[in-house]
A and B are shown apart, each in its own frame.
Chain A
């Protein structure tokens, strides 16, 4: 479970102070599929980065499974990111110099006690789950956008994280591809019980999730439960 209490994020330059997030209080229970919507620049991605421990809030407390993490050092934060969180980015962020298989294996490189053989077999299993088992030796440049995002999802799920944070995962894809990716995420949530927080601009995609939180100018303006639309796959 992720709990954000009184989160504030201020970007300070010499002359300008920009408030990206203000007084955000949000609880994401384990197993929930939450979507976040709002116009560009409203602080959605900043919020996701704070949830993913990639960024620190200027004020407030972030708790993962009840543990406040503000006193954690780089090594401990890295450990939590590795064990508990998986990321899916809008622009995929695959390492172009590595094959599909090596890209998917990447999170396990930073986990102790995982042998090379285990890494490979888990990466193959993850790729099979996203329907790309035939592309293990390809490089990202040889794949379509949808395929790249599926590789990114395989990379996010290989470590069996409790939480997947997806920042506009369908933003660069056409509607068909977008649907495919959304289907994958819904699957992960319903079958594996993975908590998913997804930032999106797409109302249709958001409506398929369990709960929708809207942001405007760095503030949370609504929080709606969408059980009516949400269908466990």
Chain B
């Protein structure tokens, strides 16, 4: 029966070329937009290299200090605070302190090259899952002795050395020479906590270490032993912050800082309110936007489907006369609609792949590697099915209610 339904669905699509075009365009374009947005979202917040264990990773990147009299100071955190209070937390498996990346100039063959440099400790490499193409990360000894060694990304390697040897060679960044010990795959700029072009030992900035202040230019990256430990780490962090507030700040000062997941660290900046990270709000906004965005093509599809099916009232009458139940008729039209939407979905995927390839190729987002991975594919497929059901159920139900006699007359009862 399914084969018969699909056969007729295909014939109907071919017969009504204009309707088919409008339907497929609506579905594929809407899906394409949703797929691109999902891919961007996934790229920025999903488990991607080097932040693969997103369910175990937390990041401390901001602190808000609210003093008496309304004075407020907000920004990244100091090495002093992180080293003294975060590195000493008991629950995490590992804690890394690393700098906010900064852009510095470098010159290669008389050509100016703007590079983003990040100062990190050894734990940074243990926590994050970089894809090393050559060599390895700098060692604990390199960090302790403040060796001038660097891990560079693929792009920097290409700019400096082309196809030649890179390991053991030197690069000069901001007038300092570093020996290259490793080359990693490019990290997208959206991964703010791990992104850079050049990573060097944090001890090369030891002048920052003893500045006894809350704010600075550092992040902490925390890895939990198990995903279940994440809430415990947050609790321990909150308790620690209260203690710091009591012991190390002026009376009446309030400190706001949180170890956040990669998504929370983004939403807290734009949608956070007090202790609320804003993730729920973001999901609400995204769901609302997706719903509105899908509503128009769905209504359009419902209308097209009603008129498309109305033309086939005689067929409905015949099917009923020969033994089709109302539910069989509903099933047929839903299957046809799902077929249409899956076809639109397939086109949407191809369009999405094309657009993502264009975004990657354009360099709009540095080192972006947007792709239609399996999760994005599954979301797209689900969207297609929701689309097919929403736009197919109402017309199918309406048509299944048609009296066989009226249907045979081509009526609209």
Chain A residues with a Cβ under 8 A of chain B = 49, 52, 54-55, 74-75, 78-79, 81-83, 86-87, 89, 93-95, 97-98, 102, 105-107, 109-111, 116, 155, 159
Shortest Cβ distance from A56 into chain B, in angstroms?
10
Closest chain B residue to A105, Cβ basis: B4
Known: A97-B11, A105-B4, A109-B4. A81 touches B318 (CB 8 A): no
Task: Encode B262-306 as 1/0 by CB contact (under 8 A) with A.
Answer: 000000000000000000000000000000000000000000000
Tier of interface size on chain B: 20 to 34
Decide: A95 near B8, CB < 8 A? Known: A82-B322, A110-B323, A116-B3. Answer: yes
Contacts of B8 in A (CB 8 A): 95, 97-98
Q: Is the CB of B324 within 8 A of A78?
A: yes
Chain A residue, CB-CB nearest to B323? A82
* In the complex, chain B residues 375-405 whose Cβ is within 8 Å of any chain A Cβ: 403-405
Check B403–A79 contact: CB distance below 8 A.
no
Q: Which residues of chain A have C-beta atoms less than 8 A from B12's C-beta?
A: 97
A175 to chain B, nearest CB (A): 26
Contact yes or no, A102 B318, CB < 8 A: no
Residue in B12, B314, B325, B403 whose Cβ sees the most chain A Cβ within 10 Å? B325
B315 CB–A CB distance under 8 Å: yes
Which residues, 302 to 322 on B, are CB-close (under 8 Å) to A? Answer: 314-315, 317-322
Q: Is the CB of B3 within 8 A of A81?
A: no
Partner of B1, one of A55, A81, A109: A109
Q: Report whether B325 and A52 are in contact in the complex, using a CB–CB cutoff of 8 Å.
A: no
Q: Does B211 contact A (CB under 8 A)?
A: no
Is there contact, CB below 8 Å, between A111 and B323? yes
| A102 B323 Cβ-Cβ under 8 A | no
- What's the minimum C-beta distance from B315 to chain A, rounded to whole angstroms? 5
Q: Is the CB of B325 within 8 A of A98?
A: no
Are A87 and B322 in contact, CB atoms less than 8 angstroms apart?
yes
Partner pick for B318 among A52, A74, A75, A95, CB 8 A cutoff: A95
B328 within 8 A of A: yes
CB within 8 Å for A54 and B322 given contacts A95-B8, A97-B11: no
Residue of A whose beta carbon sits closest to that of B332:
A109
Residues of B close to A102: CB separation below 8 A: 4, 7
* New A-B contacts (10) at CB < 8 Å, excluding given A74-B325, A78-B323, A78-B324: A54-B320, A78-B328, A94-B318, A97-B8, A98-B8, A109-B1, A109-B324, A110-B322, A110-B325, A116-B3
**Chain A residues with CB under 8 A of B1:** 109
Are B324 and A95 touching (Cβ within 8 A)? no
Known: A89-B408, A93-B408, A98-B7. A55 touches B319 (CB 8 A): no
Shortest Cβ distance from A23 into chain B, in angstroms? 21
Smallest Cβ distance from B409 to chain A, in angstroms? 10
Docked pose: A82 CA to B12 CA in angstroms = 25
Q: Across the two chains, which residue of chain B brings its CB closest to A77?
A: B325
CB distance from B341 to the nearest CB of A (A): 19
Across the interface, do B326 and A74 meet the contact criterion of CB distance under 8 Å?
Answer: yes
CB neighbours (8 Å) of A97 from chain B are 8, 11-12, 15
Q: Shortest distance in angstroms between B397's beta carbon and chain A's nearest beta carbon?
A: 13
Which of B314, B328, B405 is within 8 Å of A55, CB to CB?
B405
